[in-house]
Amino acid sequence: MARRAPRRPTCSSLGAAHRALRVLEVVHRHIGGVRLTQIARETGLGQLHLNQALQQLVRAQLAAPIIPGVYSAGSALQLAAADRDRMGELRETLGYLRDAVGAAVYVASYTEGEVSITQYADGPRTPAVHEWVDFREAAHASAVGKALLAQLGPDERRNHLNRYRMEQFTPHTITSPEVLFDELDDRRPGQPLLDLQEYTLGTVCAAVPLGTGTDPQCVALSLPTPDPDRLQQAARVLRNEAVAVVLALLVAGDDLRTPTEAATGRR
C-alpha cells in the first residue's frame, strides 16, 4: 500500500501562479503605478512569462493597466486591502471558470483529516453533482478525493482509508488501495485526477491539485454525461485556468470552510 511517496502538485499552472505572485508583489509596492520594464527588472522574468503573469493578474482584477506599459493595483486587490468582500473575487473566478469549462466547478480541501467542498459554482445548464454519498466517505471514488489524497503521504492515506472503507458505489469504482495509489502516483505532474463514473453512473469529474495554504486543496469539475472527449476538453481548460483559482484563494484568505454557492444561474 502506497509503496512510494506521493508527488506534490508541481503543475505548470502553479508555476504560473508563483510567477504572477512575484509580479503582484512589485505592482503592490509601487502605489502610483510601475512600468513594465521595472517589473521585469525586479522579478527577473522574461517577456513571455511576464506577459502571461500580467494577463492573469488583469483578468483576476489584481492589476490594471493605467497607460500602455504601466500597471497599478487592480480593484480586487484594493478591496482586499480594505478588507471588503474578500470572497467576491473567488466567487467571480469560479463563475468565470464554470462558464469556461461548461460544467459545475468546485474548490475542495482536506482539513483535519476530512474531505470538504468549500466553494462551488453551478447553474441551470451546469448542475452540481448529486451528493448521494457523503464526499467524506467517497474520496477513493471521486476526482476531488483523489486530488486531495494525491497530496498526502503514505501514512495519511492509509489512515484515511482505515476510517473510510473503499465501498463499491458503481461497477467502475476502484476498491483496491494498490490500484488507487498507483493511479495517484503514476501520473504526470499537473495531470488532472479523474472520476470515470466511479462515484455515480452517468457523471464524470476531473480535479487539479492546488499547492496553496497549509491544507491540500484542489479545483474540480463535474459533467452529467459520460462523454470522454468533453471531459478531456473541460479538464484541459480547468488545468490551464487553475492559476486564476490560486490567485483568488490567496486574495480570499484561509477562511474557506463554509460552502457557498458562487454565481449560480448566470448561464
Burial class (CB in 10 A: 0-12, 13-18, 19+), 42: middle
User: pLDDT at position 231, please?
Assistant: 96
In DSSP terms, which residues pair with 91 in a beta bridge? none
> Which tens digits make up the pLDDT trace of 72-114?
988 776 665 555 456 677 888 899 999 999 999 999 999 999 9
Quickly state the pLDDT bin for 4 (edges 50, 70, 90). very low
Quickly state the pLDDT bin for 62 (edges 50, 70, 90). confident
The distance of Cα 198 from the centroid of its chain, to the nearest Å, equals 21
Q: How far apart are CA 221 and CA 208, in angstroms?
A: 9
Asked whether the beta carbons of 153 and 113 are under 8 A apart, the reply is no
Q: How far apart are CA 243 and CA 60, in angstroms?
A: 10
The pLDDT of residue 148 is above 90 = yes
**pLDDT mean over 41-66:** 90
Q: How far apart are CA 74 and CA 63, in angstroms?
A: 4
Half-sphere exposure (Cβ direction) of 233: Cα atoms closer than 13 Å: 10
Its pTM surpasses 0.85: no
Q: What is the three-class DSSP state of 201?
A: coil
**pLDDT mean over 176-197:** 92
DSSP letter assigned to residue 28: H
Asked whether the beta carbons of 244 and 60 are under 8 A apart, the reply is yes
Closest CA to 239 of 18, 9, 61: 9
